[in-house]
């Protein structure tokens, strides 16, 4: 299966289990891998036969800058669901959401959740 990578997308959201996170906000990063057949797009140089990267970014922005949630798991699942719904051409996606500098005592670089989801019936 072919793969398209959209990596290093950065957003500012108000997600977290602590009230301070919901009030102050913080950065979140998203990396997306889309699994699909890109043969026809590549052979015909046709954007209509693939996924527009700008639209992937907009979907990620909608989720990560959208309605606050408590869990990174929720953000990750929401983004995967939206990608599968909006881009029927993809067979599956891998979504990773990273929360740098989580409010955890001690020195932690980041926390992240990565999931893989497939189209229903696929």
The structure tokens listed for 58 are 């907009």
Q: Which of 3, 49, 61, 99 is catalytic?
A: 99
* 96 among known catalytic residues: no
DSSP 8-state secondary structure symbol assigned to residue 89:
T
| Nearest by Cα to 96 from 34, 18, 3, 49 | 34
Element (H, E) at 41: helix 39-44
Dihedral (Cα; 85, 87, 90, 40), 10-degree rounding:
160
Q: Return the active site residues.
A: 99
């Amino acid at each position: 299966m072919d793969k398209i990578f959209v990596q290093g997308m950065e957003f500012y959201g108000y997600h977290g289990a602590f009230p301070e996170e919901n009030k102050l906000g913080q950065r979140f990063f998203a990396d997306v891998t889309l699994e699909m057949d890109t043969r026809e797009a590549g052979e015909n140089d046709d954007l209509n036969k693939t996924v527009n990267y700008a639209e992937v970014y907009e979907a990620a922005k909608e989720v990560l800058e959208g309605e606050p949630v408590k869990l990174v798991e929720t953000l990750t699942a929401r983004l995967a669901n939206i990608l599968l719904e909006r881009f029927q051409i993809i067979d599956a996606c891998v979504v990773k959401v990273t929360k740098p500098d989580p409010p955890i005592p001690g020195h932690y670089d980041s926390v992240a959740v990565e999931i893989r989801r497939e189209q229903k019936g696929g």
